[in-house]
Chains A and B, each alone.
Chain A
Amino acid sequence: MWQEYAIILVRGIGLGSVYALIAMSFNIVKVSSGILNFAQGNMFVLGGMMAYGFVAFFGQPSLGVWILLIPVAAIVIAVLLTIQGYLTMLPLSYSDDQQSWLITTMAVSIIIGAILLLVQGPNALMVRSIFANIPVFGMRVPAPFLMAIGLALFWYVVLQWFLSKTLTGLAISALWQDPVAGRAAGLKVRRLQLLAFGISGLIVGSAGFVSAPIITLASDSAVAYVLNGFVALVIGGVASNTGALIAGPLVGVAAMLATFKLGGEFQGLVSMLILVTILLIRPEGIFGSTAARRV
């Protein structure tokens, strides 16, 4: 019996790490510019599709090539996201209407989905892992589950270091505290924000590539990742990567446990209930800081 729970825990944490990665990629953009990028889900799917593309063209890569391809995928998606970020922030600089990003990021998500539908049709792409399944507690777990956990930890450490130890990272953090003061202090705000978009691309690009064999790569699968990433973001607390790292796996495990004990039809309902409960009890999230009074 305990093996079943153990395996659910491992897989739940693995899948949840994907949500955590998406939440972290939300975070850095949100911190720098206040924008919640709805297109992040499709960018993540694109990262996974690159894994499919490599296999389709080169065949199954060797371990060395595969490792080298991770940064390639990450950089490609980072470039795409930087371009998207530039376009998204374009109207913000000349209009006092500061909410156009709500539509433009959703529209970009729709456009990517539409292009995927045109280019590759409604079928999902399927990627086979180059790694053998790993025995855990008498059962087996596909390697990408464990690698997603590793990648989430990797990006967590990198982000924490970057945001608290480097000047650029500190400047990005400062934007979250007070964007006006940041501008006044002579920070190149737009450039920092674009950098944040790029970094978010590195995160989802690498995440999509590594977890390609266990995620759904289709023109319409992005919404689910945006939603789960957002749930992890809110539960962990906006702007808190520690929160995201913990909340993502929490969501993953909770959904799987709900399925196991209650039935698969409650999987979606359970994550929604967790989201609503957290928002009602502690709107700032587990690791979020209370917003200051506005008077």
Chain B
Amino acid sequence: MRGYHRKNRALLHRAALMSAVAASAFAFAGPLSAQSKEPIKLGILTAFTGSDAISGRNGAIGVKMAVDEINKAGGILGRQLVIVQGDDQSDPTAAVNEARRLATQEKVELLFGPQSSQRTLAVLPVLNETKIAQIATSGSLDLTPQKGPYMFTVQSNAADQGYHMAHYVTDTLKAKTVGILTDNGAQALSGVAYIKKELEAGGAKVTGVQEFPFRSEDKTAQLLSLKSGNPEALIIWANTPEDLGVLLNNLSDIGWDDVPLAGPNATVMQASGAAKIADKALFEKVAGVAYRGWTYCPGDDVVNSPYVKFKERLKAANPDSYKDLLPAIVGYSYDGIMILKAAVEATGGTDPEKIRVWIENNADKVPTVSGPMKASAESHFLAGKEVMTPIVNPLNTNEQGLFMRADCK
């Protein structure tokens, strides 16, 4: 108990220290470091509180890490980056207010966030008007270049994840009957339609669809109901580690642990957390969808993988809290900032129009840790279908913490 508190007090202290550092950086960075050159203000607009705080905070850590590295290397075009934070509270109203504050009061030139589609869609009118280049981590297919010309997103969307989950089940597992279980979150529910479509295309029949509330204590009823349809495989979309862990435990409790499971990107990220309450053996039949950068096949050069190097730097920068972080989210957020940085450098400024054109044509030239990213004038999803790939057993990582792809020979 004491240890628990001590750890948290340490965390608190560090948080306080960090905000003090951020504040002083905010106050002094300009005159001190950039030698007469104005710093570039980068806004972070994510959920630090509310239901999406986990991914919001991890995203912010990725941005801070990228900014630290960029500033240490002399900034962008000789200008230091300064972070201004806004909390969207997982609430679209607050997101719009904070977007206005960052854009018109703080006058940020670049923006990271929001990380959920309904908030990204909400702030787009504000940011389109003020014309700010933006990296979001949202996955709604509504985020078209027409709606957000200066917005790019590094998050894989529900359709692409659904595509890989469905095809893993039909192509790799060769299952003919499939049950679908999702949490009642927006992303998972919107994914169901795509999953069904792809399953049908692959010749599989859906025997049942069930959902559970976020972080509910028990999913036995849902699983028993799905089990009555007797499917050969399950597609399970759970976004939190406790939901995944409870699900695996419940499956084992009702004696159904031999059924293979396919999960989304979240399954890959949350598996280690879920293993705190679920036995490792239960993950053997679990598959997930990962960014290519996180994966390997036997024989790859894993030691020099950019993602592995990135995780080492992340751990060095956050030694205490590293085990609570989701390096995957931190990673693609980091990538987003690096792409933005490359665009600013290449275009010689923060003109959003020039940045847009540059990223649409050159994103794949930026070295990223999550995998090769790419955009086009038609799609601003930097992590498209090709960037993602199914992996098997998210706990069975290699020495460097990489996941094994499902398509390895």
Contact = CB atoms under 8 A, between A and B. Distances in A.
Contacts of B241: 123-124, 126
A218 B215 contact: yes
A141 interface: yes
A276 interface: no
B218 A128 contact: no
B116 to A, nearest CB: 14
A220 B249 contact: no
Contact of A57 (B1, B212, B218, B228): B1
Contacts of A133: 253
A11 B213 CA distance: 17
Contacts of A53: 1, 4-5
A127 interface: yes
Contacts of B299: none
Interface string B237-274: 00011100100010011110000000000000000010
A261 B210 CA distance: 10
A127 to B, nearest CB: 7
A222 to B, nearest CB: 12
A7 B12 CA distance: 43
Contact of B49 (A4, A117, A142, A221): A117
* Most interface-central of B4, B57, B184, B218 (chain A CB within 10 A): B218
A264 B4 contact: no
Contact of B220 (A7, A52, A265): A7
A267 B216 CA distance: 11
Interface in A8-36: 8, 11, 15
Contacts of B253: 133, 139-142
A126 B276 contact: yes
Nearest to A124: B242
A118 interface: yes
Interface residues of B, number: 45
A149 to B, nearest CB: 14
B173 interface: no
Interface stretch (A157-165, A181-189, A209-217, A283-291): A209-217
Nearest to B228: A4
Contacts of B15: 118
B57 to A, nearest CB: 7
Contacts of A122: 49, 53-54, 57
Contacts of A195: none
A150 interface: no
A119 B8 contact: yes
Given A121-B324, A139-B253, A260-B221, A126 B277 contact: yes
Contact of B184 (A54, A117, A264): A264
Contacts of A108: none
Given A50-B1, A124-B240, A256 B218 contact: yes
Interface in B174-197: 184
A265 B12 contact: no
Contact of B221 (A56, A128, A218, A257): A257
B200 to A, nearest CB: 21
Interface in A199-242: 213-216, 218, 220-221, 224
Given A124-B240, A126-B277, A260-B221, 18 more contacts: A11-B218, A53-B4, A53-B5, A54-B1, A57-B3, A57-B4, A117-B49, A119-B12, A122-B53, A126-B241, A138-B255, A139-B254, A140-B255, A218-B215, A257-B221, A260-B222, A263-B211, A264-B210
10 nearest A-B residue pairs (beta carbon): A122-B53, A259-B221, A260-B221, A57-B3, A264-B211, A53-B1, A216-B215, A53-B4, A256-B221, A140-B253
14 contacts: A7-B220, A7-B254, A8-B224, A53-B5, A57-B2, A57-B4, A122-B53, A123-B241, A139-B253, A142-B249, A215-B217, A256-B221, A260-B225, A267-B216
Interface of A: 4, 7-8, 11, 15, 50, 52-54, 56-57, 117-124, 126-128, 133, 138-142, 213-216, 218, 220-221, 224, 256-257, 259-261, 263-265, 267-268
